[in-house]
Amino acid sequence: MTPGDPRQANDGNGAGADAGGVAEGWGVDHVGLVSCLRQSNGEASERRTPMCPAAGRALMGLAVLVMISSGVGQGAAVAGGKMYWTDLRIGKIQRVNLDGTALQDLVTTGLRFPRGIAVDDSGGKMYWTDSGTLKVQRANLDGSQVEDLVTKGLPAPGSITLDVAAGKMYWTDSATDKIQRANLDGSRVEDLVTRGLSHPGEIALDMVRGKMYWTDPDSSKIQRANLDGTGVEDLGIRGLRIPWAIALDVAGGKMYWTDAGSSKIQRANLDGTGVEDLISRSSGGPVKDAGERYGIALTTGQ
């Protein structure tokens, strides 16, 4: 069992990575938390995922740190020489220096199941979703001045990402099966994609081409649409089982993702063509284990 494996129910530790400029993302709990919430709330559909193989483990195994990310990718966040993350088990948002020193508790009250986190370094704000309080919130990077931004219509907000230049934040909700956005102050909430989603997972933005990409672990799809939610496309990638994290190399015209079902790391062109297995159980090279892969990190070397 590898560090960050969601099956590690009792120690609450996990990590992963991603890279860029504005930082955003969500924790390895994402799919399982919603599955477990649906089951514990008595809904008819029982979605079995790696995080929650049965309803009896509803909140066990969700005590994990979010994966670390920065840039136009997903996980937690890196900004100003700091790593930021949410901790489900203890209900905190914390940060450390990039070498792991100087741990700080930033937000320690008012949280229940903090999940996705995104950092606007230039604006001095961090944004997060909470599937326990059913809110999108933000605060200064030191944790002060916590604000409720969106407090209605959020049964299970998950992944969150920012388009700071346009003054927008985007998030997924796996209970309503929607992708939504709002202004950075929480005003003007918009439903962008409300049909054809089974369990929207992680979201990533291509601001250059005006597209958003997301994984849907329950329907085994990767999809995209225009930033206003129009023009939804199923990218038609075959062989997906539980597509999980997604990251974009916009300049290189590639998307990368992990599949928690096949234990693969794959990539394709941004239109879904040219699928390649980069890491798999049978691949050679330095990674030969048959572990479960969740987080993904990109760096362009710039």
Residue 298 within any structural domain of the chain: no
DSSP letters, 206-255, are: ETTTTEEEEEETTTTEEEEEETTS-S-EE---TT-SSEEEEEEETTTTEE
Residue 244 within any structural domain of the chain: yes
Residue 187 within any structural domain of the chain: yes
Residue 84 within any structural domain of the chain: yes
Residue 135 within any structural domain of the chain: yes
Give the per-residue pLDDT at 97: 85
Please give the share of the chain, as a percent, with pLDDT higher than 90: 49
Give which of 34, 18, 225, 233 is closest to 115, Cα–Cα: 34
Q: How many domains does the chain have?
A: 1
DSSP state of 56: G
Identify the three-state secondary structure at position 269: strand
pLDDT digits (tens, 9 = 90+) for 103-161: 999 999 999 999 888 899 899 999 999 999 999 999 999 999 999 999 999 999 999 99
pTM of the model: 0.74
Residue 247 within any structural domain of the chain: yes
| Residue numbers of the domain that contains 167 | 30-279
Residue 208 within any structural domain of the chain: yes
Identify the three-state secondary structure at position 149: strand
pLDDT digits (tens, 9 = 90+) for 174-205: 999 999 999 999 999 999 999 999 989 899 99
CATH number of the domain at 96, please: 2.120.10.30
Residue 97 within any structural domain of the chain: yes
Alpha-carbon distance of 237 to 250, in angstroms, equals 19
pLDDT digits (tens, 9 = 90+) for 68-95: 333 322 345 666 688 888 888 888 998 8
DSSP state of 192: E
Determine contact, residues 52/35, Cβ cutoff 8 Å: yes
